[in-house]
Amino acid sequence: MHNSFPSPPSPEVAALLSAHRLSRRSIIRGAFGVGALAVAGGLAGCGTPGARQAGECASDDRSETERSLHFSNWIQYLDVDDEDPDRRPTLDAFVDRTGIQVTYTEDINDNNEFFGKVQAQLAACQPIDRDLIVLTDWMSARLIRLGWVQKLDLGRLPNVERNLLASLRDRPFDPAGDLAVPWQSGLAGLAYNGSVTGEVRTVDELLTRPDLKGRVTVLTEMRDTMGLLLQAAGHDAADFTEAQFDDALERLRRAVADGQIRRFTGNDYAPELARGDVAACIGWSGDVIQLAATDERIRFVAPESGAMLFSDNLQVPNRATHRANAEDLINYYYEPAVAAQLAAYVNYICPVEGARAEMERIDPALATNPLIFPDDSTLAGTKVFMALTDDQERAYEAKFQQVIGA
C-alpha cells in the first residue's frame, strides 16, 4: 500500500531516519528562483593524490576577539517571520543572547554544485569565507575523507552530547561525532499538484504516464533519484550491483529521451510545483509539507516501492576562523525548545531529543505528523542509499551526470 502524507513534521523518530545517510533539504515561502543545476567538475580532485589536507591545514580561531560568524545553508532551511521576512526568529534570538553577529547566506542548492564552488580553495588549503556549512551525509563524508573540515570541541557542545538522538550517534563516516552534527533529516519521494493532475503513486507512473509528459522534474541529487529508481526496478537501494544501477539508470535515460522530464533540479523545483507548471516530481518531504500548508492539493507520496532517507549536517570547513562561535550556534540549536521552533517552520525531521514534547506546545498537529515523526510502518518502507567507495562514487556520478546532461 502507498502512503500519502499532506501534513507537517518534527523530531524524535526522525532520528531513526537520520541515522542513515543521503541527501537533502529546503522549503518554500513563495517564488524564489535559485540557481540551476551545475555540477561541472563536481568530482574533480575527489580522492586524487594531494587532495587530502588531513591535519596540515591549521586554522586560527579568532572567536574571542571577533564575535562574528558566516553561516551557509540550503535555501529556506531556517525559520522566517511571516510578517517580516528579514527576521529569522531563532537566529535573531541567538544573536541577542550571545552578541555573535551572524552573516547568514542561503547559497546551497545542490551538494555537487556547492562542492564545485569551494573545492579548489579547500584543496589548496585556502579559506572559503564560511565558518559553518550544511551538507548531506554523503557529501559530509566526502569532506571528512578529504580532510577538509575541522574537528569540533565536544566539550563546547553539551546540548548535542545530551540531546542528539541515539540513532544518529556513532555514524560510520563520523563515529566520534566531532566532524559533522545533524541539522535536519527528511524523506525523498514523489510529490504532485492535485489541481493539475491525478494522484501519482509510483516512480513508473512519474516516468511514463502520458498526461505528465513534459511536466515532471527530477532531482540532481543522484542518491535520491537513483535510490528511488533502484527501488522501483525491484533492486535494493541499500545494496545493489553495477548492473542493477545501470538497469535503473536506463529507465531514467528513456524518460529523458521521451521528453517526459521537464528538467533536473536542486532545491528550486518547489515554486514550479506550487504554480502547477510542474505536475509531479521527485522531491523532499519538508518542501511539500510547506506547500501543502497553503494548498492541500499538493501532496507528498512515499512510493509503493519505498522512499529514501537523508540527513544534512553542520560542519566547520578548514581555515574557518570562528570555530568556537560556530560551536556556540550548533549547541544553541540543540536546545529542544529552539529545535522545535525550527522544525515547526522547516517541517523536516528534527534530530533533537525532547523537541517533540516542545512541539506539542507550538503545534500539536506537527507533533503527530508522520513525516516529522515517522511511525514504524513508514520507516519499514524507507531505504538509505548504499555507502560508496571513492571509485564507485566517481563512476556512478559520471553515468548519472551524462544522463541528466549536467
238 domain-assigned: yes
When comparing pLDDT for 306 and 42, which is higher? Answer: 306
pLDDT in the model for residue 63: 98
21 domain-assigned: no
Residue matched to cell numbers 551557509: 72
User: Among residues of the chain, what percentage have pLDDT more than 70?
Assistant: 85
Per residue in 182-208, pLDDT tens? 999 889 999 999 999 999 999 999 999
Taking 50 as the threshold, does the pLDDT of residue 15 lie above it?
A: no
42 domain-assigned: no
The whole-angstrom separation of Cα 129 and Cα 223 is 28
- How many beta carbons lie within 10 A of that of residue 161, not counting itself? 14
Per residue in 125-153, pLDDT tens? 999 999 999 999 899 999 999 999 999 99
Taking 80 as the threshold, does the pLDDT of residue 341 lie above it?
A: yes
Q: Give yes or no: residues 277 and 391 share one domain.
A: yes
Per DSSP, which regions of 31-98 are E strands?
A: 68-74
Element (H, E) at 181: strand 181-193
Q: Give yes or no: residues 280 and 393 share one domain.
A: yes
Cα R_g (the chain), whole angstroms:
20
When comparing pLDDT for 219 and 43, which is higher? Answer: 219
The whole-angstrom separation of Cα 252 and Cα 230 is 10
When comparing pLDDT for 327 and 46, which is higher? Answer: 327
Q: Give yes or no: residues 84 and 174 share one domain.
A: yes
The whole-angstrom separation of Cα 398 and Cα 288 is 29
Using pLDDT thresholds of 50, 70 and 90, give the confidence band for residue 7: very low
285 domain-assigned: yes
pLDDT in the model for residue 376: 63
- How many beta carbons lie within 10 A of that of residue 92, not counting itself? 14
Q: Give yes or no: residues 234 and 118 share one domain.
A: no
The dihedrals phi and psi of 235, each to the nearest 5 degrees, come to -100, 170
The whole-angstrom separation of Cα 236 and Cα 245 is 10
- H helices of 124-198, in order, are 137-146, 158-163
Q: Give yes or no: residues 131 and 275 share one domain.
A: no
**Mean of the per-residue pLDDT values for the chain?**
85
Q: Give yes or no: residues 103 and 240 share one domain.
A: no
- How many beta carbons lie within 10 A of that of residue 37, not counting itself? 20
Per residue in 71-100, pLDDT tens? 999 988 999 998 998 999 999 999 999 999
User: Among residues of the chain, what percentage have pLDDT more than 90?
Assistant: 67
Q: Give yes or no: residues 172 and 321 share one domain.
A: yes
- How many beta carbons lie within 10 A of that of residue 261, not counting itself? 22
Grid coordinates belonging to 257: 529521451
The whole-angstrom separation of Cα 258 and Cα 275 is 24
CA distances from residue 225 to 221, 341, 384 in whole angstroms, order as listed = 6, 30, 12
Q: Give yes or no: residues 221 and 322 share one domain.
A: no
pLDDT in the model for residue 229: 98
List of residues 6+ apart from 116 with CB closer than 8 A: 38, 39, 40, 41, 42
Taking 60 as the threshold, does the pLDDT of residue 38 lie above it?
A: no
pLDDT in the model for residue 323: 98
Q: Give yes or no: residues 282 and 394 share one domain.
A: yes
Q: Give yes or no: residues 287 and 320 share one domain.
A: no
The whole-angstrom separation of Cα 302 and Cα 247 is 22
Beta bridge partners of 134: 314
- How many beta carbons lie within 10 A of that of residue 389, not counting itself? 9
94 domain-assigned: yes
pLDDT in the model for residue 185: 85
Q: Give yes or no: residues 283 and 400 share one domain.
A: yes
Q: Give yes or no: residues 86 and 167 share one domain.
A: yes
The whole-angstrom separation of Cα 196 and Cα 297 is 9
Which domain does 152 fall in, by range?
Answer: 68-185+310-373
pLDDT in the model for residue 290: 83
The region of weakest confidence among 34-38, 172-176, 313-317 is 34-38
169 domain-assigned: yes
Taking 90 as the threshold, does the pLDDT of residue 18 lie above it?
A: no
Provide the angle, in degrees to the nearest 10, between the axes of the packed helices 390-404 and 222-232.
80
Per residue in 211-239, pLDDT tens? 999 999 999 999 999 999 999 999 999 89
Beta bridge partners of 68: 101
pTM of the predicted model, to two decimals? Answer: 0.74
pLDDT in the model for residue 379: 63
Per residue in 261-295, pLDDT tens? 999 998 789 999 999 999 999 999 888 988 998 99
109 domain-assigned: yes
CATH number at residue 140: 3.40.190.10
**Quick one: how far is CA 174 from the chain centroid?**
17
Q: How many domains does the chain have?
A: 2
215 domain-assigned: yes
